Chains A and B, each alone.
Chain A
Amino acid sequence: MNFPIRPEAASNFATEHDQLFFTITALTIFFTVVVLTLVVIFAARYRAGSKYSRANASNHNTKLEITWSVIPLLLGLGIFVWGAKIFVEQHTPPKEAMELFVIGKQWMWHVQHPNGVRENNTIHLPLGRPVRVTMISQDVIHALYIPEFRVQYHVVPGRYTTFWFTPTKVGKFHLFCNMYCGTQHAEMGGYVYVQEPEDFEKWLENDGTKVAERTPSLAELGKALYDRTQCGNCHGQVDNVRAPSLIGLYGRQRQFTNGMSGVADDSYLRDSILNPNSRVVKGYREIMPQNYKFTEEQILQLAAYIKSLGAAASPNPVTPSVDAPMPTPNTPAPSGDPTSHNLPGR
């Protein structure tokens, strides 16, 4: 088991933040140690029966009291100014910053790059370029939080909010929703991938993940089958009255009308397609067709497709390696195929 004590510092704000953070920590330790040492010393030294003199114990000393009010105040003001300086900087994005648009909705992040490339629950970014993120929510308040960058900001319905940062490290970082937003709040997240600028450009040009000549992946075959059988008549972008959305289903906790619950793993997917009424998702009726006749291979394809719609939180999602951003078949590809995310909803 590992126990890190400091998150990676991967943005321009991270180092500034940490300097301030550790300065406050030093002050905190200093004052805690001073006060508690005095408390312990006084408790021991002036314990009833000890030899020390109690003569001339004073009950107040205005000068002393003013001193110990003013010193913390001044130290506090110093910290305030330091924190404020960074905060103002955080509210002043540089003009040359590249744009990114994020839509938050229960319970996924929908990210759009200016050239039209889209991704869900992942954000790909180039190293060293300031990024200005413009955000809005479709429903409740969310918060976009990247701890390794030391930044977060609320994503509010009905108004745009923005923040900015410059990634300073290549790698994979956490993307969290940090404002409680309902049932699957804990699963509303993914990863931020910072790539070398060339790799990022390649990724963008390939429309995210589509690479020119290659045989269709399982997931793509699955999508074709899904469209042909018109699963999308019921399953849409979001949960609707007819059927739950399949986006982000894989790996998630499900609750059933019979009071049981379980995790949506491979066998659950197979079961749900072949035998929908064996476990009916809570809140829905038994309307999914019972008579699909799929081969095992087709089931695998459908499952791969459903998985490619984004997985629930998973400790070891397959990372698209930075130089080969092609999804391997049959695994949840965090970068996904952006076009295939647009389920024909109703």
Chain B
Amino acid sequence: MSAVDIRTEEAPRHAPQPSYLQNGHTIKSWLLTGDHKRIAILYLISTGFFFFLGSIAAGAIRWQLTSPRGELMTLEVYNKMFSAHGVIMVFMFLVPTIPAVLGNFLVPIMIGARDLAFPRLNLASWYMYMVGGVLILVAMAMGGVDTGWTFYTPYSSIYSSSQVSLTLVGAFIVGFSSIFTGLNFIVTIHKMRAPGMTWDRLPLYIWSHYATSIIIILATPVVAITLLCVVLERAFRIGIFSPELGGDPVLFQHLFWFYSHPAVYIMVLPGMGIISELMSAFSRKPVFGYKFIAGSSLAIAAIGFLVWGHHMFVSSQSMYQGLVFSLLSFVVAVPSAIKVFNWTATMWKGSVRLQTPMIYALCFMGLFVVGGLTGLYLSTLATDVHLTATYFVVAHFHYVMVGGTILAYLGGLHFWWPKMTGRMYPDSWGKLSAIIIFVGFNLTFFPQFILGFLGMPRRYATYALAPQFQFYHILSTAGATVLGIGFLIPLFYLSWSLKHGPKAGKNPWGAKGLEWTVDSPPITTNFYETPIVDRPVYDYDPEEEERQFQIELDAEREMREKLAATRGGQD
């Protein structure tokens, strides 16, 4: 028997099968699994671990900045701290997390497939991720890297004496795990849709993964080669980026942002897909403007490749390049705006249920709108000349990446948690965590917009030259404390729910979509029989849903009255 189990045989009709969690209990059955759902769980745990590490670094950074001369660390340690934070959060968490956890789990189920097209490749992607991650951690244990996650040359290639090469090799390997996942998704979405799952019946979540996968496959190899070039220059002094050796230092920035701007969409598109699902499911209404939203994902994927130079307006690229990149950045902002308007319109005349995942989605709206709009200050040439590389940029990308990606991820995790584990968590705790995160987040990052406008440069371990910044730094650190608490709460009640949560049933939210027709947790092959899709996606009828809601409400009231009556009788 091969170690990786590729399910080719037809399952016997309706004989109950163990869930994917019960199907094998040995460590080996997890580490050699080909099941997309188990690999998703492996990723859930490992990305969660890296998120925890990255957050500790963030805490240290915020603590340091409470005083102008630096509270906690020397300059050198601080520089390594923000580099560790950025490298871990971007390469080990934001890029992989939604595709590798929720995408892995859901893409096959949502399109009616038994697994991804290449289960072994999927498992290999997790191993690549872990090998890369371990290398990065080893690099940190050996003294760490001090270049920031952007690795600008020639500092990274010639001058830094920290563990640049090892970190880069780690990031290089992690890049392949993304490429494997992207490849798998594209093939699966093309070839493995159930009968009747036509392209216009694909959930928008699938569309967003499709667009993301295209970006991953086209852009990641570029950054992989670029990082390798830095390693070559460091190791063999081959002159690529360093002018001393005959190279061009700005070339690195072009190559890096050619990947890393699309990468911001790799990070946020899957989150946008989640929000489309949540908005529809909790408004009990089809997503407003399905075609515009699906199309905008593809538009972002395409135009997103043409705007990298907006990170380089003052880098010494020519003025005309600046003009073109600025113009295109305004164009690429439009698809994001379309999505926001369409999500809002989805709630109109819906039958809105304010349960935990929806609260997360609403918080996402609040933060993503601010994040997206502040992108305009940075796409505008004259304002970027003042704001680039200040805390304004830091605030902007945290609004889109934490406020956008992470809130969407948490919303999705709360939405599909019952499907993944078969258990419910306490709704009120879920809402509480969402609100604490929302408040803490704004308190942390809003002051940073003001700091940036005032001229506070990013990546400063101390700011003794300008102690008037202190007030905002203290606010920000206070907010980070609240935010940290907000992130810890779900850890507790979600773990609690694994053992003690009430059983979820197939469809605890009353949502549509193939994933809600299978067991919670699903069996290893997801479906007993290949499903046949015969209705449009998001097949909700708010009027009908309202009637249903009234009936449930009445039934509940009756139950309560009966209960009260029997209790009254006992007294």
Contact = CB atoms under 8 A, between A and B. Distances in A.
Contacts, number: 304
Interface in A5-59: 5-7, 13, 16-17, 20-21, 24, 27-28, 31-32, 35-36, 38-39, 42-43, 46-49, 52-59
Contact of A152 (B285, B286, B388): B388
Contacts of A308: none
A60 interface: yes
B455 A176 contact: yes
B344 interface: yes
Secondary structure dominating the interface of B: helix
Contacts of A21: 377, 383, 386, 453
B450 A5 contact: yes
Interface in A150-198: 150-154, 156-159, 161, 174, 176-187, 189-191
Interface residues of B, number: 107
B543 A253 contact: no
Contacts of B471: 1-3
B478 interface: no
B330 A187 contact: no
Contact of A84 (B290, B334, B381): B381
A99 to B, nearest CB: 19
A54 B291 contact: no
Interface in A68-117: 68-69, 72-73, 76-77, 79-80, 82-88, 90-91, 106
Nearest to A60: B289
A49 B345 CA distance: 19
B244 interface: yes
A28 B380 CA distance: 13
B263 interface: no
B160 to A, nearest CB: 7
A240 interface: no
Given A46-B351, A69-B337, A182-B146, A28 B76 contact: no
- Taking residues whose C-beta sits less than 8 angstroms from the other chain, chain A's interface range is 35 or more
B293 to A, nearest CB: 10
A148 interface: yes
A153 B315 CA distance: 7
Contact of A46 (B69, B323, B348, B450): B348
Interface stretch (A136-144, A206-214, A215-223, A269-277): A136-144
Nearest to A91: B319
B453 A140 contact: no
Given A36-B366, A150-B385, A57 B74 contact: no
A150 B463 CA distance: 19
B350 A140 contact: no
A335 B436 CA distance: 49
A55 B79 CA distance: 58
Nearest to A80: B330
A186 B457 CA distance: 8
Contacts of A52: 349
A132 to B, nearest CB: 15
A255 interface: yes
Given A32-B369, A141-B249, A179 B152 contact: yes
B280 to A, nearest CB: 10
B425 to A, nearest CB: 21
B75 A48 contact: no
Contacts of B524: none
B385 A151 contact: yes
B550 A49 contact: yes
B457 A177 contact: yes
Contact of B464 (A39, A157, A312): A312
Contacts of A65: 289, 292, 338, 341-342
A140 B161 CA distance: 13
Given A48-B353, A150-B385, A158-B243, A80 B365 contact: no
A54 B543 CA distance: 5
Query: Quick one: which of B154, B348, B457 has the most chain A CB within 10 A?
Result: B457
A86 B381 CA distance: 8
B329 to A, nearest CB: 8
A232 interface: no
Contact of A54 (B158, B331, B546): B546
B38 to A, nearest CB: 36
Contact of A36 (B68, B244, B369, B381): B369
A132 B334 CA distance: 37
Interface string B280-302: 00011111111110000000000
Interface string B385-401: 11011100000000000
Nearest to B549: A48
B382 A60 contact: no
A316 to B, nearest CB: 9
Given A83-B326, A156-B249, A313-B462, A68 B155 contact: no
Contact of A42 (B316, B331, B352, B389): B352
Nearest to A52: B349
B316 A154 contact: yes
16 contacts: A1-B471, A4-B454, A5-B453, A17-B386, A21-B377, A28-B370, A39-B347, A65-B289, A68-B338, A69-B334, A82-B382, A86-B382, A139-B159, A140-B159, A156-B249, A159-B243
Interface of A: 1-7, 13, 16-17, 20-21, 24, 27-28, 31-32, 35-36, 38-39, 42-43, 46-49, 52-61, 64-65, 68-69, 72-73, 76-77, 79-80, 82-88, 90-91, 106, 139-141, 143, 145, 147-148, 150-154, 156-159, 161, 174, 176-187, 189-191, 251, 253, 255, 261, 263, 312-315
Query: Across chains A and B, which 4 residue pairs bring their CB atoms closest together, nearest first?
Result: A147-B455, A158-B243, A87-B381, A57-B349
